[in-house]
Structure 1
Amino acid sequence: MKTTRLNAGLRPNILATLGALALLGSATVANAQNYPVTPAQRATAQQTAQTGIPLSELTPNAPDEYTVKSGDTLWAISRLYLRSPWRWPELWGMNLSDIANPHRIYPGQVLFLDKTGGRARLTLRRGGGSGEGGTIKLSPRTRQDTVTGLALPTLNPALIEPFLSEPIVVDEDTLKTAPRIVAGNDSRVLLSRGDRAYARGEPNAPLLEKAGPINQFRVFRTATPLKDPATSEILGYEAQYVGKAQLQRSESTQTMMEAGKEVTNVVPATIDIVAAREEIRAGDRLLPEPPRQLLSYTPRAPIDPITDGRIVSVYGNAVQFAAQNQVVAINKGIRDGIESGHVMAILKNGETIIDRTGGGKDTLKLPNERIGLLMVFRPFEKVSYALVLEINDTPKAGDLLVNP
């Protein structure tokens, strides 16, 4: 049993920030990173906290106080208070320089809405302000994790954790030159978890064990081209994730005599299938398991205007329309300045129609209608994966993306 006390005097306004939890691709929050707070960042946050936002930006039913509960997310609480939830840094006394160092808020803390002076601020002390002193008590609880592990996540982690390790966008040659499965043990054609199989690399790049931890690979199938709906540019190839494999023995060669001649044959590497989303077969490709990454998802609007942004595809086999909490690929990536956490509005592309109501045949373009929001969580060079946060219609490939 442990009771945690946070000294509010040490961080008068920084503690009032609803920072985003850095999500781990390993689906755990127990090892979330602690970000240092510099004196300059502290001063900037305090200054911004004194400014707040106009009361008109609050939702009509924004509560005067709210106790953070287990299962809450940053986005859900932002929506509780703000008409534009991606503007949360202004309400919690942060500016763009602090976003790279998100702070934590925990279940059991009480948020107070300060409306003095016609501006809104969110604090952890009733009455707000920047006075010193006082403590903030978190509810006692029995736990094995550190208090950092209880930090509030930005979104429900289960929504995006699979996409941190499963789908991948590659260039045209990456899968073609990746090691491939050539056969299953006992002449098995379809492989699943627990089966043994054999694989080989290209002649100049055999599949070999490397020093260090056990060699893990992801198994992928034929990549699907992702084409920009606006320019028809191939932005990358989305590889279909089918499972994981573990390398047991390296690829090698064996020399023997056949018909009086010395012949050298390739001996494929030995792998074990350790996970399978669907049945694995010969021809599937292996890509090394990447190191686990600590990623921060801090919802915010992009700094620069988004131009010609489009939804490229909805993730899933033969899925045409996107639902809330579904993943889509968009035609903007790292080269366009897109980062994890960028929020964009989805616009339904208005149809072009022929107007015959006036006796003629005039061509009309119906207006674009805003139908939802999405947030980027995994950017690649030319394309990104984004989570659909809110919708009031059904987004689809080709719909437009703009700053929120």
Structure 2
Amino acid sequence: MKRLFGICLASWLALSTPIQVQARADQIQLQENHPQEYVVVKGDTLWDISGHFLKKPWRWPELWDVNPQIDDPHWIYPGDILYLTWVNGQPKLRLKNDRMQPRARVSKLDSAIPAIPLKDLFAFLSDNVVLDEELLKKTPYVLGGRNERIIAGAGDRIYARGEIDQGHIAQNVYRPAKKYIDPSTKELLGYELLKVAEARISALNGDITSLEIIKSREEVRVLDRVIPAPEARIQSVFYPVAAPLESRGQILAVLRGVTKIGRYDAVTINLGKREGLKSGHVFKVFTRGETIKDPLTKEKVTLPAEEAGTLMVFKTYDKVSYGLIMTATNVLSIGDTIRSPDADN
């Protein structure tokens, strides 16, 4: 967790003159109106803070690296004052002098400044899964409940059929909710499942498993799927980096069930592990060009796509991934395209 909240001030690429900054696209570029100082406020993220200084705030890991002025355990908090300085021709972001002297400091963990707004991710990290068609068919399913019930809730017993991993007492119950189809190739990319309950194995009898429902969000129904509860710690550390140069895709869905997409909305995209995606990969989002009628020729003309936001991948599957909209300069929609920030427009 230290690295999540760490102020890391990575060595910048050498910047000796403004001309060199403009000449090389891979150089980090400062905002033209960047401040010399910034006071950290509650609700800030490292991404937000870097946005005051960088034209591409997703490159904040290159701005924040080892900084000896920041006292262990390398966290910043609301009220800290940051300032921009230059050392050997390289820009550095540091803390004001009142933090330089060693002294004891007691602060709550949840008051430290995170890299990105984790509260917007936790539900999606634990409550949504995507399975391919073959795996979905093999996943154990709910037969019903005690006394021939077809719905059940917390405190009830249910029965599932299929091969359940006996090494995991804790199980989650999911409901297939959405089928993802690639809009271009029409390939079936997978099925999204939403968690409806948490359960615990109470007995095994051949391919029939008895489970006690511990907690439920919705009523458990026949044909809901049973999947072992994840034991691994949910990933909470993300270090943004440009998506692979050749990566191009589309937004398939928004996870909150709305049609228009804005900042901090979670979305599904039609790219996954097979395309080399990993958590932390960043894309530019382009709105689809509108189709309008030429007032002179009367023919229909499709306007060019325009850059309108930034997306960071936070969970990957084989053929699809979940991403969080980090910035949005316009309303985004399902079907908008995504490209690597390093790709030519």
Q: TM-score range by the shorter chain?
A: 0.7 to 0.9
**2:238 corresponds to:** 297
Matching of residues 47-126 of structure 1 within 5 Å = 48=12, 51=15, 57-59=29-31, 62-68=34-40, 71-92=43-64, 104-107=74-77, 110-115=81-86, 120-124=91-95
**TM-fit CA distance, 1:161:** 0.5
The 3 A distance-change label for structure 1 pair 76 and 52 is farther
**2:70 corresponds to:** none
TM-score by length of 2: 0.80
Q: Considering only CA atoms, is the larger Rg found in Structure 1 or Structure 2?
A: 1
**2:185 corresponds to:** 231
**1:287 corresponds to:** 227
Q: Is the Cα contact below 8 Å between 1:375 and 1:386 reproduced in 2?
A: yes
Matching of residues 13-52 of structure 1 within 5 Å = 21=4, 45-46=10-11, 48=12, 51=15
Check if 1:326 corresponds to 2:265: yes
**TM-fit CA distance, 1:321:** 2.1
**TM-fit CA distance, 1:141:** 2.0
Amino acid at match of 1:385: Y
How far apart, CA to CA, are the structure 1 residues paired with 2:225 and 2:277?
29
Which 5+ residue runs of structure 1 have no aligned equivalent?
1-18, 23-33, 95-102, 127-133, 253-265
Q: Is the Cα contact below 8 Å between 1:226 and 1:237 reproduced in 2?
A: yes
3-state SS of paired residue (1:81)? coil
3-state SS of paired residue (1:76)? helix
How far apart, CA to CA, are the structure 2 residues paired with 1:337 and 1:353?
37
Q: Is the Cα contact below 8 Å between 1:184 and 1:191 reproduced in 2?
A: yes
3-state SS of paired residue (1:21)? helix
How far apart, CA to CA, are the structure 2 residues paired with 1:348 and 1:363?
18
**1:393 corresponds to:** 330
Amino acid at match of 2:118: P
**TM-fit CA distance, 1:393:** 2.5
**TM-fit CA distance, 1:230:** 2.4
**TM-fit CA distance, 1:284:** 0.8
Q: Is the Cα contact below 8 Å between 1:20 and 1:153 reproduced in 2?
A: no
The 3 A distance-change label for structure 1 pair 139 and 69 is farther
Matching of residues 130-209 of structure 1 within 5 Å = 135=100, 137=102, 140-141=105-106, 152-201=113-162, 205=163, 207=164, 209=166
Structure with more contact order per residue of length (Cα contacts < 8 Å, sep ≥ 6): 1
How far apart, CA to CA, are the structure 1 residues paired with 2:182 and 2:250?
8
Q: Deviations over 1:181-221 (max 9, x none)?
A: 212224433222222222221xxx3x4633xxx61111112
How far apart, CA to CA, are the structure 2 residues paired with 1:238 and 1:303?
25
**TM-fit CA distance, 1:386:** 0.4
Instruction: Figure out how many residues of one structure are paired with residues of the other and give that number.
Output: 322
How far apart, CA to CA, are the structure 1 residues paired with 2:120 and 2:16?
31
**1:217 corresponds to:** 171
**TM-fit CA distance, 1:123:** 2.8
3-state SS of paired residue (1:155)? coil
Residue among 237, 242, 248 paired with 2:196: 242
**TM-fit CA distance, 1:139:** 6.6
Q: Deviations over 1:67-122 (max 9, x none)?
A: 5455432112112222210122343369xxxxxxxx95332754321146775321
TM-score by length of 1: 0.69
Amino acid at match of 2:326: L
**TM-fit CA distance, 1:376:** 0.6
**2:209 corresponds to:** 269
The 3 A distance-change label for structure 1 pair 193 and 369 is same
Q: Is the Cα contact below 8 Å between 2:278 and 2:316 reproduced in 1?
A: yes
Amino acid at match of 2:135: T
Superposition RMSD on alpha carbons, in Å?
3.3
How far apart, CA to CA, are the structure 1 residues paired with 2:74 and 2:241?
16
**2:277 corresponds to:** 338
Q: Is the Cα contact below 8 Å between 1:175 and 1:223 reproduced in 2?
A: no
How far apart, CA to CA, are the structure 2 residues paired with 1:75 and 1:53?
26
Amino acid at match of 1:367: P
